């Protein structure tokens, strides 16, 4: 199925990735885009005036049926989630995302939707394979035997299986991508739900503007991660949606960096050098995680085109603009 000329639905359109995806779908030639989120419009990260924008709580089956009516393609990104600080302290809330995922699959099946994209997460991967800082990149088969991130990871893995069985039992075409740490402008940058690139970018900028050249880092700073820029993410979503790939597939960067290295990048961009303290009791997640992109390169020839440094330049410029304007983080 092609996006061009199709009527498509974006669930979670008021969020960071969802908002950018709405814009990318219009740019790709979608006939119409229905944008849905449970938050009131003033809390959406961005609102595209060309879209059919609706406030709907997708945990309710009635809302999912309204959202899916007349749609040919569905992009299910709606989730109550955030960075490591949020998901480690809100496991029950993260598990409740299964309501939106399940009800949206049911509504899509009943509405005759042709294709359903589900945004999973690298949090589904077996924790035993993520204990070493010198990480071996995670392949798709490393999700089993199952030992995902407690709460959020279990819900994502369960919902992946639900997608698989809706295809097997009902013929609903599904595509599943496992996102690896997406960042960029117009994302959450404060308040507790922000992820590492935004959190570190904000902390470095606050230190720069306050003159207090100190930064607190969660964990010991040796944790390793990869981070994917938002434009690469939306291109990957569209490529996977239009592909024939039936199994869950990684969507992430393979450019590995330590958290200390991420702070180095942010300091270089801001032109400051900070004294570092380490909060060893703060949530820090697994020791090492990286994306093995062998399969997506094989199937689609896809690889992120944005270096982490360049993406952080754009992200920090936007955060600084928001900070100086006194804008409240969303």
Residues 64 and 107: beta-carbon distance below 8 Å: yes
**Close Cβ partners of 126 (under 8 Å, ≥ 6 residues apart):** 142, 143, 144, 145, 146, 147, 148
Residue 106, beta-bridge partner list: none
Per DSSP, the three-state class of 228 is strand
Strand 115-121 relative to strand 228-229, pairing: unpaired
Answer for the pair 226, 291: CB distance below 8 angstroms, yes or no.
Answer: yes
Instruction: Please identify which residue in the block is written with the tokens 């199952």.
Output: 146
Instruction: Identify the active-site residue in 152, 167, 229, 309.
Output: 152
Partners of 117 in the beta sheet? 75, 175
Burial class (CB in 10 A: 0-12, 13-18, 19+), 67: buried
Alpha carbons 237 and 72: distance in angstroms, whole number: 16
- Which helix (H) or strand (E) is 218 found in, with range? strand 214-218
Q: Is 299 a catalytic residue?
A: no
Contacts of 26 (CB under 8 A, 6+ apart): 33, 48, 50, 51
Active site residues: 152
């Amino acid at each position: 199925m092609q996006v061009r000329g199709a009527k498509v639905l974006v669930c979670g359109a008021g969020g960071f990735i969802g908002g950018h995806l709405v814009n990318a779908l219009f740019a790709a030639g979608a006939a119409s885009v229905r944008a849905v989120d449970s938050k009131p419009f003033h809390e959406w990260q961005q609102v595209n005036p060309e879209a059919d924008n609706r406030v709907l709580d997708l945990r309710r089956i009635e809302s999912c049926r309204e959202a899916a009516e007349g749609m040919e393609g569905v992009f299910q990104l709606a989730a109550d989630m955030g960075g490591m600080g949020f998901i480690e302290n809100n496991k029950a809330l993260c598990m409740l995302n299964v309501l939106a995922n399940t009800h949206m699959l049911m509504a899509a099946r009943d509405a005759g939707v042709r294709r359903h994209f589900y945004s999973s997460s690298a949090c589904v991967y077996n924790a035993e394979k993520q204990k070493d800082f010198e990480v071996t990149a995670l392949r798709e088969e490393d999700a089993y035997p199952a030992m995902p991130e407690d709460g959020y990871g279990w819900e994502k893995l369960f919902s992946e299986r639900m997608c698989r069985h809706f295809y097997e039992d009902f013929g609903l075409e599904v595509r599943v991508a496992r996102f690896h740490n997406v960042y960029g402008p117009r994302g959450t940058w404060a308040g507790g739900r922000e992820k590492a690139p935004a959190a570190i970018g904000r902390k470095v900028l606050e230190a720069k503007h306050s003159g207090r050249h100190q930064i607190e880092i969660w964990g010991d700073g040796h944790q390793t991660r990869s981070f994917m820029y938002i434009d690469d993410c939306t291109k990957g979503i569209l490529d996977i949606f239009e592909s024939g790939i039936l199994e869950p597939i990684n969507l992430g960067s393979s450019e590995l960096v330590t958290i200390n290295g991420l702070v180095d990048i942010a300091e270089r961009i801001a032109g400051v050098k900070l004294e570092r303290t380490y909060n060893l009791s703060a949530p820090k997640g697994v020791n090492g995680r990286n994306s093995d992109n062998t399969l997506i390169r094989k199937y689609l020839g896809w690889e992120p085109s944005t270096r982490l440094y360049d993406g952080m330049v754009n992200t920090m410029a936007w955060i600084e603009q928001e900070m100086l304007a006194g804008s409240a983080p969303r």
